[in-house]
């Protein structure tokens, strides 16, 4: 388990680290004060004497503990008999992300078989309302990086590979969908969709990549500061030398920016914010080739 004390971020491969107690309690029992209808309940996590308040809400708020769905997601994939890795991220004991990376049936973009992609099942949830529950079955993990790729050219919700919702009924529906769709998720059809989206980036080799990088950073709202540029350029140069003999294409630029945006050491933005920026970068690259 890796812990970032300053940002209160915990990254772990053990799902049990997220299985702590959570409860909804009347505000008056905690504060001894009356509360209006919008904040007459609080969400508490942990056990006495170290309980923490992570949310104030109305009595209509439906508390859905991680324990009611995360172990089930893991079990559905485990029952499939595939080789997988898992990673869980927790921010302030109130915002959660889980990902299961399926290591079977890998594929790659372009001509280099070492630039491997794996299918990823990803979920988000929160106890403070900042992240809506989502189960997304249409994303990928790139082996070379710690980042995750989001297929913007493939509407995962429209194709039944992403489900959002705040309540138990919707969440239970997502588990049934995962069970029914898992075979399709691992199929060549989904991989071909990914290749169709990313192949143009691979095919577009860039000589003056500094200008290209500056362009996409501006679109994403990432400051072109010296530290930011140094970190992103370091990734581009290393991968360029390792994979393509020193040449740079839009695929490397995109992944270097993607890796930077999804690194929690750089910022603690919500995943939805990161994904929105990532979509802008990918769209800009694809429309200006």
Are both 82 and 180 inside the same structural domain? Answer: yes
Looking at the domain assignment, is residue 112 inside a domain? Answer: yes
Looking at the domain assignment, is residue 235 inside a domain? Answer: yes
Count of domains forming the chain: 3
Rounded-to-integer distance, Cα 164 and Cα 174, Å: 8
Report the pLDDT value the prediction gives residue 284, as an integer from 0 to 100. Answer: 93
Looking at the domain assignment, is residue 5 inside a domain? Answer: no
Give residue 38's domain range.
15-57
Are both 184 and 80 inside the same structural domain? Answer: yes
Q: pLDDT, tens digit, for every residue of 241-257?
A: 999 999 999 999 999 99
Find tokens 């595939």 and name the residue.
82
Are both 81 and 183 inside the same structural domain? Answer: yes
Report the pLDDT value the prediction gives residue 2, as an integer from 0 to 100. Answer: 56
55: pLDDT strictly greater than 90? yes
Looking at the domain assignment, is residue 1 inside a domain? Answer: no
Instruction: Categorize the per-residue pLDDT at 273 as very low, low, confident or very high, splitting at 50, 70 and 90.
Output: confident
Are both 245 and 127 inside the same structural domain? Answer: no
Are both 86 and 185 inside the same structural domain? Answer: yes
Report the pLDDT value the prediction gives residue 193, as an integer from 0 to 100. Answer: 86
List of residues 6+ apart from 113 with CB closer than 8 A: none
Looking at the domain assignment, is residue 4 inside a domain? Answer: no
Q: pLDDT, tens digit, for every residue of 95-139?
A: 999 999 999 889 999 988 888 999 999 999 999 999 999 999 888
Are both 276 and 209 inside the same structural domain? Answer: yes
Report the pLDDT value the prediction gives residue 131, as an integer from 0 to 100. Answer: 92
Are both 70 and 189 inside the same structural domain? Answer: yes
Are both 27 and 71 inside the same structural domain? Answer: no
Looking at the domain assignment, is residue 19 inside a domain? Answer: yes
Q: Which of 208, 201, 240, 238 is nearest to 110 (CA)?
A: 201
Report the pLDDT value the prediction gives residue 231, as an integer from 0 to 100. Answer: 93
Report the pLDDT value the prediction gives residue 185, as an integer from 0 to 100. Answer: 87
Q: pLDDT, tens digit, for every residue of 164-204?
A: 877 788 889 899 999 998 998 889 988 888 898 899 999 99
Are both 119 and 83 inside the same structural domain? Answer: yes
Report the pLDDT value the prediction gives residue 255, as an integer from 0 to 100. Answer: 93
Mean of pLDDT values over 5-10: 72
5: pLDDT strictly greater than 60? no
Buried b (16+ CB within 10 A) or exposed e, 128-167: beebebbbbbbbbbbebbebbbbbbebebeeeebbbebee
Looking at the domain assignment, is residue 7 inside a domain? Answer: no
Report the pLDDT value the prediction gives residue 262, as an integer from 0 to 100. Answer: 87
202-209, Cβ contacts within 8 angstroms, sequence gap of 24 or more: 202/109, 202/110, 202/249, 202/250, 202/251, 203/110, 203/249, 204/249, 204/250, 204/285, 204/289, 205/247, 205/248, 205/249, 206/248, 206/249, 206/250, 206/253, 209/236, 209/248, 209/253
Report the pLDDT value the prediction gives residue 148, as an integer from 0 to 100. Answer: 73
Are both 80 and 174 inside the same structural domain? Answer: yes
Report the pLDDT value the prediction gives residue 286, as an integer from 0 to 100. Answer: 93
Are both 48 and 103 inside the same structural domain? Answer: no
Percent of the chain with pLDDT over 70: 93
Residue predicted with more confidence, 7 or 63: 63
Are both 72 and 190 inside the same structural domain? Answer: yes
Looking at the domain assignment, is residue 6 inside a domain? Answer: no
Q: pLDDT, tens digit, for every residue of 132-175?
A: 999 998 888 998 876 677 766 556 666 667 888 777 888 898 99
Q: pLDDT, tens digit, for every residue of 9-39?
A: 999 999 999 999 999 999 999 999 999 999 9
Report the pLDDT value the prediction gives residue 146, as an integer from 0 to 100. Answer: 67
């Amino acid at each position: 388990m890796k812990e970032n004390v300053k940002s209160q971020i915990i990254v772990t491969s053990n799902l049990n680290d997220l299985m702590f107690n959570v409860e909804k309690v009347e505000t008056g029992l905690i504060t001894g004060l009356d509360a209006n209808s919008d904040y007459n309940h609080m969400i508490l996590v942990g056990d006495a004497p170290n309980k923490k308040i992570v949310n104030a809400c109305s009595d209509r708020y439906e508390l859905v503990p991680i324990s009611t769905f995360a172990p089930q997601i893991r079990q559905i994939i485990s029952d499939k008999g595939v080789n997988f890795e898992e990673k869980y991220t927790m921010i302030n004991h109130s915002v959660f992300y889980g990902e299961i990376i399926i290591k079977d049936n890998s594929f790659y973009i372009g001509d280099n078989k070492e630039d491997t992609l794996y299918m990823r099942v990803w979920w988000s949830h929160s106890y403070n309302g900042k992240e809506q529950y989502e189960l997304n079955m249409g994303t990928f993990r790139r082996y070379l990086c710690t980042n995750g790729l989001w297929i913007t050219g493939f509407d995962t919700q429209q194709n039944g590979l992403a489900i959002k919702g705040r309540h138990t009924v919707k969440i239970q529906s997502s588990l049934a969908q995962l069970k029914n769709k898992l075979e399709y998720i691992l199929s060549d059809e989904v991989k071909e969709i990914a290749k169709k989206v990313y192949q143009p980036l691979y095919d577009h080799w860039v000589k003056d990549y500094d200008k290209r990088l500056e362009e996409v950073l501006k679109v994403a709202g990432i400051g072109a500061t010296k530290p930011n540029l140094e970190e992103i350029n370091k990734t581009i140069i290393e991968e360029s030398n390792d994979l393509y003999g020193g040449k740079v294409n839009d695929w490397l630029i995109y992944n270097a920016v993607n890796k930077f945006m999804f690194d929690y050491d750089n910022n603690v933005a919500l995943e939805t914010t990161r994904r929105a920026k990532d979509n802008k970068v990918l769209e800009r690259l694809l429309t200006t080739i």
